[in-house]
Amino acid sequence: MMQRLHLVFGGELVDPSKNVFKNVDDIHVVGMFPDYASAHNAWKAEAQRTVDNAHMRYFIAHIHRLRDEESAVSFTEELG
């Protein structure tokens, strides 16, 4: 069975209409999740917890999309 890893993270944005973090050192890494459903639940909990701050945003990164299981070396491994 293939894992579909997802990373949930967020932080305060400079401007709520853009995806630029105010301070990347303050990015909150919620965690890595084995499927979209559990990542979505974690994202939703953090988004609801910070709903009163319009500058706070949380995101789900589809880590599995960075990997190509069919090739011997993935695109990201070639960058290093």
Using only C-alpha atoms, the chain has a radius of gyration, in whole angstroms, of 15
Q: Order the strands of the 56-62 sheet from edge to edge.
A: 28-33, 6-12, 56-62
Specify the pLDDT at position 80: 47
- Please count the structural domains in the chain: 1
Q: What is the pLDDT averaged over residues 17-30?
A: 95
1 falls within a domain: no
**CATH number, domain with residue 31:** 3.30.70.2400
Specify the pLDDT at position 3: 77
**What domain range is 46 assigned to?**
6-79
Specify the pLDDT at position 50: 94
**pLDDT surpasses 50 at 14:** yes
Q: Bigger pLDDT: 77 or 34?
A: 34
Specify the pLDDT at position 69: 58
pTM given for the model: 0.78
31 falls within a domain: yes
